[in-house]
Amino acid sequence: MKRGDEYVESLRTLRMKVYAFGERITNLVDDPLFRPHVNAARMTYDLAYDPVGEDLVTATSHLTKKKINRFTHIHHSAGDLVRKVKMLRMIARRTGTCFQRCVGFDGLNALYSVTYEMDQELGTEYHQRFVNYLLYVQENDLMLAGSMTDPKGDRSLKPHQQADPDLYVHVVRQNEKGIWLRGAKAHQTGIVNSHEMLVMPTTAMGEEDKDYAVACAIPVDAPGITHIFGRQTNDERKRGEIDQGNALFGIVGGEALTVLEDVFVPWERVFMCGEYRFAGLLVERFASYHRQNYGGCKGGVSDIIIGATTTMAEYNGVEKASHIRDKIAEMIHLTESLYAGSIACSAEGYATSSGAYFVDPLLANVTKQNVTRFIYEICRLSHDVAGGLIATLPSEQDLRHPEVGPYVDKYFRGAAGVSSEDRIRIARLIENMTGGTALAESMHGAGSPQAQRVMILRQANLAHKKTWARKLAGIKS
């Protein structure tokens, strides 16, 4: 297993093509725009050697029986699924943000079971290829970016119907050595500080879309790959400290648009190529695993928001007011409801034919659907308690300014014994954790709310519910 400093140094060996704000970035590790995201991901490595986190962040490989980082593990019990959620909440409490490694983790687990089932039905050899790749990932403790989301273009059209065929990643040619891909993957969390990307289809497909039914592993710095880093709410504040809110670990996960221009992938790294009937299954497996996470990671992030809100109430001198206590109690209730959903879908997990365990998909989708609502309410209550200064504070430069700094210090004091700077710091943390990019990720991460509602209807078994109702009503038919 890598240690945190080894992970950071491994990134220096990559030769990625990354652009941000119209410039090519040559030192990702040390650039203030990227370093917080590197620090957050590093926590997934450091905690594997920390007595506090070791039990949750490590596991035993079912392939080698060696101790490995859990982020490279294949779940083989409901206990594994539960420990995953507990791990995510623990790490989120320490970072207050996305630590980015979950998407690749979920991609590994989805591909493990789906490649097995493909081989069983079709007689292909994808599963053994994937197991060989998994061994490589475990032995080198790699961070993977799960690359599922395509730009999609006109959402009313299928992949093969798009005016521009590159709006979904697709195979443009192949020979005895491998395949070549073209297209792009959007909203790629943590990809600029990952080692590899796991390409997966983004939707169920028909025969006409078979060129788009592709799954494979590619180094993030492979020839033909360009990463265009996305903007975030606080990215213009990265040169300072206080105004960032969470300067050490950042806000959300550092997403990028990743463009593939005729990228070559050797066959040993290809895990689906044209088997369109399994594209939908892979999407559902991945999405359910990923939606399982949100009560864990968002529960941990919400713990920080609750702590910051309670602190701000104290700094404002209103912590004993009954309406303040009631609002904080509601924030706690919503947070624990999210966590309960993640634990429930994990505890109800079951074995697939490959031996790997899968979450209860209905409960996983309900959990993520709740995230799209509860996080907004948690943030609204935080804004209510904190007050308007979270939206109108002068900058850190003004606080430090020799002429106007004393005014900022004087007029932003709160309760006795609390410095203006401390009050400003906690306000900035609330501002950055409860607005902009962070909220959008809660809504659309792991799929939009409508995607979960489709799955909820599909998994709810309405036919059985109607049967039970008719029986109780005395209806014979």
Contact between 279 and 201 under an 8 Å Cβ cutoff? The reply is: yes
Burial class (CB in 10 A: 0-12, 13-18, 19+), 269: buried
C-alpha radius of gyration, the chain, whole number: 23
State yes or no: is 168 an active-site residue.
no
- Look up 64 and say whether it is catalytic: no
CA distances in angstroms from 24 to 19, 147, 383, 475, listed in the order given: 4, 22, 37, 69
Residues, the chain:
477
Buried b (16+ CB within 10 A) or exposed e, 353-363: ebebbbbbbbb
Question: Residue 178: is it exposed, middle or buried by C-beta count within 10 angstroms (0-12/13-18/19+)?
Answer: middle
Q: Residue 178 pairs with which residues in a beta bridge? A: 266
CA distance 293 to 296: 5
Answer yes or no: 268 catalytic.
no
Q: Which among 253, 165, 185, 181 is positioned nearest to 216, based on CA atoms?
A: 181
Tell me if 41 sits within 8 A of 104, measured CB to CB.
Answer: no
Give the orientation angle of helix 361-386 with respect to helix 294-316, to 10 degrees.
10
Q: How many other C-beta atoms lie within 10 A of the C-beta of residue 468?
A: 9
Helix residue ranges, H only, 256-321: 279-292, 294-316
Classify 413 in phi/psi space as left (phi over 0), alpha (psi -120 to 50) or beta.
beta
Task: Determine whether 441 is an active site residue.
Answer: yes
Catalytic residue, candidates 102, 216, 345, 379: 102
Q: Which of 117, 196, 255, 275 is catalytic?
A: 255
Per annotation, catalytic residue among 216, 297, 345, 379: 297
341 CA to centre of own chain: 17
Helix, strand, or coil (residue 178): strand
- What the block records as the tokens of 6 is 């080894």
Q: Is 315 annotated as catalytic? A: no
Taking the C-alpha atoms of residue 467 and residue 382, their distance in angstroms, rounded to an integer, is 44
Known catalytic membership, residue 216: no
Active site residue 255: yes
CA angle, residues 256, 261, 265, in degrees to nearest 5: 95
Q: Which of 276, 294, 315, 357 is the catalytic position?
A: 294
Using an 8 Å Cβ cutoff, are 200 and 149 in contact?
no
Q: Is 62 a catalytic residue?
A: no
| Active site residues per annotation | 98, 102, 189, 255, 290, 294, 297, 441
